[in-house]
Amino acid sequence: MPGTKQQGWQSANGPAATYREALAALDKYCQSKYQGKRLPDLSDPEKDELLKGLEDEKIKLEGVDGKSFFELVIKDVQMGFFADPLYGGNRDMVAWKMIGYPGARYNYLDWVDRHNERFPLPPVSITGRADWSPKT
C-alpha cells in the first residue's frame, strides 16, 4: 500500500532491492531509447535529459516508479554528501568545508550566533580529523 506524502517513500523491498530493480529498468530504457547504449555510455546531455525526464515523470520505467526512484537517489546522494565520513561519504569532509560546518566538535557555542562568519578551524569527524595521528 502506498504511503501518504507525510510518510515519504514506502516499499516492501529494502533499499538494495529497490536500487537493483530500478537500475535494471533504467538500463533497459536506455538501451531501447539510445540505440543500445547503457547509462554510463550516455553523453552528459543525454544523462541530463534522462534525469529530467524521470523527475518530470515524462519517462516511464517498466515496473518501477521513475519519479520516486529519482527522489530516492537525490535524497541518498544528499545524505551521503553531507554525512559524517565515518559512513563512507563526504570524503575528507569536503561538503562540510564547502558549507563551513564545524563537524562533530565538542563545543563551538561561541560561534552559534555569529552568522556569515567563517569558522576558523577545520571540521572534525566523529572519528577525529584526517590530519590527526596518534602520538607514539
Chain centre distance of CA 58: 22
The pTM (predicted TM-score) of the whole model is 0.73
What gap in Å lies between CA 20 and CA 25, rounded to an integer? 9
Has residue 114 got a pLDDT over 70? yes
Task: Give me the residue label for grid cell 565538542.
Answer: 106
Confidence of residue 12 (pLDDT cuts 50, 70, 90): confident
Distant-in-sequence contacts of 74-82, Cβ < 8 A, 24+ apart:
76/15
Confidence of residue 58 (pLDDT cuts 50, 70, 90): very high
Which residues fall within 8 angstroms of residue 69, CB to CB, at 6 or more apart? 18, 22, 26, 54, 61
Rg over alpha carbons for the chain, rounded to the nearest Å, is 20
